[in-house]
Homo-oligomer: A and B are copies of this chain.
Amino acid sequence: MRLSVSFYVTYALCLSLGLLCVLFVTCWSSYWRGGLSWADPALKFNWHPVLMVSGLLVLYGKALVVYRVPFTWKQKKRTWKLVHAGLMLLALVLSVLGLCAVFEVHRDSHIPNLYSLHSWVGMCTMVMFSLQWILGLAGFMFPCSPLWFREALKPIHVWVGKAILILSLTSCISGIDENLFLALNGSSAEPYNTLPVEAKFANSLGMLIVAFGLVVFGILSKSKWQRPETDGESAPLMLNENNT
């Protein structure tokens, strides 16, 4: 009972921080950066931070911890495997759209792609995330997946899952920092080092992102909060349909 209470308090914090991250990044793009529009080339870039923070960080982080929620432990694991895979797919789609936004803006404005360290780390994160999703699908959802493959894949899947969270956090922070330097030091009357209201707001967004990442990481690190292994976790979805 105490375990559940401490989990749900942490989980509520995680959900609140995630929501605040999405609100802050949307507000930053809408209020200070002119708003969101795919049709207007000047505003298309703003989708990049919104979709990356919402998809690659917040939704990804929430998908990482779905197995930890105690009320799901009484339900079939296959349901929560589908929720996990579905949320991850949605996170991946949002991130790919976020990447498309920045690639299209670069193409239209004749800015080279993938030159900054932020973009190198971000691209690494996306490649790892895509491979992780495909291998996760092949290993844990396909009925024909051999047992040795699933058993070998599971610790790698868990470790890579946390590594992607770390890289996602790093990409978001370096991206916001870079964006503030480019936006405020370019044409703004108030450069970044005068710490105008926008800079304080976007820096606060960065700190919320750090807090969210660390809370997700904390939930994952606590072994007492892991789903008990009572339903043949290693078995793939279709072979494991009747477990509870």
Contact = CB atoms under 8 A, between A and B. Distances in A.
Interface in A175-206: 176-178, 180-182, 192-195, 199, 202-203, 206
B174 A115 contact: no
A131 interface: no
A116 B210 contact: no
Residues of A in contact with B, size category: 35 or more
A118 B214 CA distance: 17
A147 interface: no
A217 to B, nearest CB: 7
A162 B214 CA distance: 9
Contact of A112 (B120, B181, B194): B194
Nearest to A200: B115
Interface in A196-244: 199, 202-203, 206-207, 210, 213-214, 217-218, 221-222
Contacts of A192: 115-116
A30 to B, nearest CB: 19
A67 to B, nearest CB: 17
Contact of A195 (B115, B167, B206, B222): B115
A166 B199 contact: no
Contact of A166 (B158, B182, B213): B213
9 contacts: A116-B203, A117-B180, A118-B173, A120-B206, A163-B218, A166-B217, A170-B170, A170-B210, A173-B173
4 A-B pairs with least C-beta separation: A117-B206, A174-B174, A117-B177, A115-B195
